[in-house]
């Protein structure tokens, strides 16, 4: 054993080469006051993530979550249940135990909460690459072993402060880097020189319709489909080594990431593309021009703080961009939903400190587009939003989502009042192909806004168990919901949140795989916070882009990486349009096999 005082929280391991490691600790004192000594049982220690260092108040962290902080938290809910005690050990001492082999399957590499790890004074010749999964490590001692090399995956340990490698027959260049420039320089070297890992499986489309339903849809001359992609692309200002220290610097560079982002967008060739975290410079210099070449027109607004800035600093402000295929859709109206301005304009919102400090200080936005199909006259209301990230402001998330939905409803009501589009002229010789079905449906007439299909995409920074998800998917939320945190916001907290859009998440559709798939993948959080909401009364889901391969994710520390250019992943789906009921009834005998419901 190493002649060193083991930290008080260190846990000695007696059989490190077994397939799994079981750590036992004295049973915590029960809540009823009885001593744990009164029971002969012992319990396994349950490890918990260590609390990350507080984020600084720089723009990169106040407007964007650090990679080791989750954008969600469990809402405070009243409960009389006794919570189990939490163990807070974070050090593990396996030094001086003559360990010769540490297989990658060892349970040690599941202890992702470890802060200090001692493997010194052993006989190791290899450190398994899976050590890169222990991203909470700050001290790692492997001196006095037989190591001739170090795994490149050590470069993923972006929080590592001390790496003890003395007494190993290592390559002289590695030793020189550590001795001359320190641990961080060695970590950066390993990170940036890590050979590209095997590429992940290509994500496929998951069809939710049966074969006969697909055939009926293709044969129906009145059938319409629309496809959508939603993607938070991680704007250049936030893609820093301080926030994403596990990502190679070259893979964080905008010149590298933008090509991967564009490749992902074009690969799916959707009718509508909703992007978040697009800054002004990226939109003007790259996306608007590049996507125009592919037949897309765009609508973009930056966050509110752009109004206070000028020059290069203003061009770094991010916002939301919505693109649509100009050969199919005409933009009838576009609208900026500036959440802090909308809140200030509401007469029922009292101008309290909470309003100024919690709502008005957040400059998140939504972009609303009213689109009309040039050929069929079918209308769409498309919302695109980025909701505040901080879990300490769950009330702000609810208010921003409610304001967005309110504006979408108003926009749909305005849209319904416009006269229907005249049918396209019939040109002799056109559509004479007997194999190409010809639509017999006149342009739809929308008697109210609720009849118009609605799609709302975005990064909502809320998981499926949140109050925001409950509100969006059910159409209501109780005024005393705990995620309001006791703050008062007019009608929202006196009568509750309500909407009449009949929204559902595309990935909650039968056969889509259910909610809970990963859309945001960083060391501090892996889960679903991005959504494509749709009005279930007039849209149905045909297909969704499948979730990420779980086996691949198990080998990753977090995104961005060589293959994924953002900390978020794109989600995409295809919808079928259900015409207004009065028109669909007239055409119901045309193709009775065509699916009409979700």
305 Cβ neighbours under 8 A, 6+ residues apart: 317, 363
Per DSSP bridges, beta strands 116-118 and 272-279 are unpaired
Secondary structure of 8-38 as H, E, C letters: CCEEECCCCCCCCCCCEECCCCCCCCCCHHH
The arrangement of secondary structure in 205-215+228-419+437-586, i.e. its CATH architecture, is 4-Layer Sandwich (3.60)
Each residue of 289-342: pLDDT tens digit? Answer: 999 999 999 999 999 999 999 999 999 999 999 999 999 999 999 999 999 999
Contact 461, 389 (CB under 8 A): yes
Each residue of 8-51: pLDDT tens digit? Answer: 334 343 333 444 433 333 333 333 333 333 333 333 333 333 33
CA distances from 251 to 197, 231, 245, 346, 563 (A): 13, 18, 11, 44, 9
Each residue of 239-270: pLDDT tens digit? Answer: 999 999 999 999 999 999 999 999 999 999 99
* Sequential DSSP letters for 101-154: ---TTSGGGG-TT-SEEE--SS--S---GGGGG-TT-SEEE--SS--S---GGG
Q: What is the CATH number of domain 1-53+83-195?
A: 3.80.10.10
- Helices 172-181 and 183-192 pack at an angle, to 10 degrees, of 130
Distance separating alpha carbons of residues 121 and 146, to the nearest angstrom: 9
Q: What are the start-end ranges of the E strands in 35-103?
A: 43-44, 91-93
Q: Would you state the structure tokens that stand for residue 44, as one six-digit string?
A: 């396994």
Distance linking the first and last C-alpha atoms of the chain: 64
Q: What are the start-end ranges of the E strands in 223-295?
A: 225-232, 272-279
Q: Give the residue carrying structure tokens 């973009």.
A: 300
165 Cβ neighbours under 8 A, 6+ residues apart: 142, 143, 147, 150, 174, 175, 178
Residues of the chain with CATH 3.60.10.10: 205-215+228-419+437-586
Each residue of 390-437: pLDDT tens digit? Answer: 999 999 999 999 999 999 999 999 999 999 888 766 665 555 555 545
Nearest CA-CA partner of 552 in 583, 515, 571, 526:
526
Residues of the chain with CATH 3.80.10.10: 1-53+83-195
Distance separating alpha carbons of residues 270 and 260, to the nearest angstrom: 16
Each residue of 460-511: pLDDT tens digit? Answer: 999 999 999 999 999 999 999 999 999 999 999 999 999 999 999 999 999 9
Percent of the chain predicted with pLDDT > 70: 81
The residues annotated with a catalytic role in the active site are 459
Does 560 sit behind a cis peptide bond, omega within 30 degrees of 0 on the bond before it?
Answer: yes
Distance separating alpha carbons of residues 437 and 223, to the nearest angstrom: 10
């Amino acid at each position: 054993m190493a002649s060193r005082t083991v930290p008080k929280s260190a846990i000695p391991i007696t059989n490190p080469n077994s397939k799994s490691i079981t750590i036992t600790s004295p049973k915590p004192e029960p809540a009823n006051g009885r001593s744990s000594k009164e029971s002969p049982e012992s319990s396994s220690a349950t490890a918990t993530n260590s609390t990350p260092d507080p984020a600084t108040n720089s723009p990169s962290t106040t407007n964007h979550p650090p990679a080791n902080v989750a954008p969600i938290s469990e809402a405070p809910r009243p409960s009389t249940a006794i919570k189990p005690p939490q163990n807070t050990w974070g050090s593990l001492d396996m030094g001086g135990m003559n360990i010769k082999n540490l297989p990658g399957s060892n349970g040690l590499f599941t202890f992702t909460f470890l802060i200090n790890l001692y493997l010194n004074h052993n006989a190791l010749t290899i450190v398994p690459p899976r050590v890169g999964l222990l991203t909470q490590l700050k001290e790692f001692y492997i001196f006095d072993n037989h190591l001739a090399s170090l795994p490149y995956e050590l470069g993923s340990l972006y929080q590592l402060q001390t790496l003890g490698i003395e007494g190993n027959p290592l390559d002289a260049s590695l030793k020189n880097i550590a001795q001359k420039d320190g641990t961080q320089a060695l970590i950066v070297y390993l990170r940036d020189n890590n050979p590209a890992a095997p590429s992940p499986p290509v994500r496929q489309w998951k069809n939710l319709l049966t074969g006969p339903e697909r055939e009926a849809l293709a044969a129906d001359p009145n059938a319409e489909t629309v496809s959508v992609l939603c993607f938070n692309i991680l704007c250049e200002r936030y893609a820093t080594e301080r926030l994403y220290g596990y990502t190679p610097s070259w893979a964080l560079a905008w010149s590298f990431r933008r090509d991967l982002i564009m490749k992902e967008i074009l690969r799916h060739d959707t009718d509508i593309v909703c992007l978040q975290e697009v800054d002004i410079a990226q939109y003007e210099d790259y996306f608007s021009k590049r996507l125009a070449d592919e037949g897309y027109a765009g609508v973009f607004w930056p966050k509110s703080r752009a109004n206070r800035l000028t020059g290069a600093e203003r061009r770094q402000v991010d916002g939301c961009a919505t693109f649509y295929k100009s050969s199919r859709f005409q933009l009838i109206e576009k609208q900026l939903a500036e959440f802090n301005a909308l809140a200030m304009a509401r007469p029922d919102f009292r101008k309290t400190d909470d309003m100024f400090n919690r709502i008005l200080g957040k400059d998140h936005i939504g972009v609303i587009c009213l689109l009309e199909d040039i050929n069929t006259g079918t209308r769409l209301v498309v919302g695109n939003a980025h909701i505040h990230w901080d879990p300490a402001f769950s009330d702000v998330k609810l208010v921003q989502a409610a304001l967005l939905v309110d504006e979408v409803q108003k926009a749909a009501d305005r849209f319904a009042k416009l006269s229907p589009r005249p049918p396209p002229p019939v040109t002799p010789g056109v559509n004479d192909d007997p194999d190409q079905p010809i639509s017999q449906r006149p342009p739809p007439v929308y008697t109210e806004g609720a009849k118009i299909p609605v799609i709302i995409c975005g990064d909502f920074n809320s998981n499926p168990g949140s109050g925001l998800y409950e509100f969006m998917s059910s159409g209501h939320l109780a005024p005393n919901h705990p995620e309001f945190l006791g703050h008062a916001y007019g009608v929202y907290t006196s009568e509750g949140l309500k909407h009449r859009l009949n929204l559902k998440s595309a990935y909650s559709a039968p056969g889509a795989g259910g909610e809970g798939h990963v859309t945001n993948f960083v060391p501090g959080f892996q889960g679903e916070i991005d959504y494509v909401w749709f009005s279930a009364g007039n849209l149905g889901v045909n297909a969704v882009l499948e979730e990420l391969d779980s086996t691949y994710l198990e080998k990753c520390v977090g995104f961005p990486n060589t293959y994924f250019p953002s900390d978020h992943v794109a989600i995409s789906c295809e919808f079928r349009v259900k015409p207004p009921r009065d028109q669909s009834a007239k055409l119901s005998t045309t193709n009775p096999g065509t699916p009409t419901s979700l």
